[in-house]
Structure 1
């Protein structure tokens, strides 16, 4: 079973947040910062401010969907407040 990371990016341009998942955080951040992701290309540069690992895509996808929900955004705000 693959280790899959759920991550949160913050745009250094406008402060926008982006939640995604990947098996390779370094490569994925590079893709976001070189315009290879359609949604994030207009908000470069990005920094990765949070990541967590999950065993398998199903668990990671469930967590990603939660973090994109209103409750998940509140959780992120509470837990990342000291880092932002």
Structure 2
């Protein structure tokens, strides 16, 4: 089983949400349908711009905690290194 750490953003350079899940497509769908966390619902944080895959839950949670502590600018640089066009990666999950 794979575990995912992901960054959702309300818009380019907007509000961030960092999460962890074992089913990325389902979890992002929940965020988009406003079924998830109130922060994502309140600030419309529904666009998937970055994610990482891990083999263990422990590694994924450790990484999530690290990313949550990062300054905003570091998160921007991380997204832009892998996704310079700020494509919403959710669409690619369902292919």
TM-score (norm 2): 0.72
For residues 59 and 29 of structure 1, do their structure 2 counterparts lie closer, same or farther at Cα, with a shift above 3 Å needed?
same
- Corresponding position of 1:35: 34
Deviation at 1:83, TM superposition (A): 4.2
Tell me how large the CA RMSD over aligned residues is: 2.1
More strand by share: 1
What CA deviation, in whole Å up to 9, does each residue of 1:7-55 have, x standing for no partner? 000114x921110011111111111111112221112261100011001
Moved over 4 A (4+): none
Q: Kindly tell me: are residues 8 and 41 of structure 1, through their superposed partners in 2, closer, same or farther at Cα, counting changes over 3 Å?
A: same
Gaps of 5+ in 2: 87-95
TM-score by length of 1: 0.80
**In 2, Cα distance between the equivalents of 1:8 and 1:65?**
12
Gaps of at least 5 residues in structure 1 are none
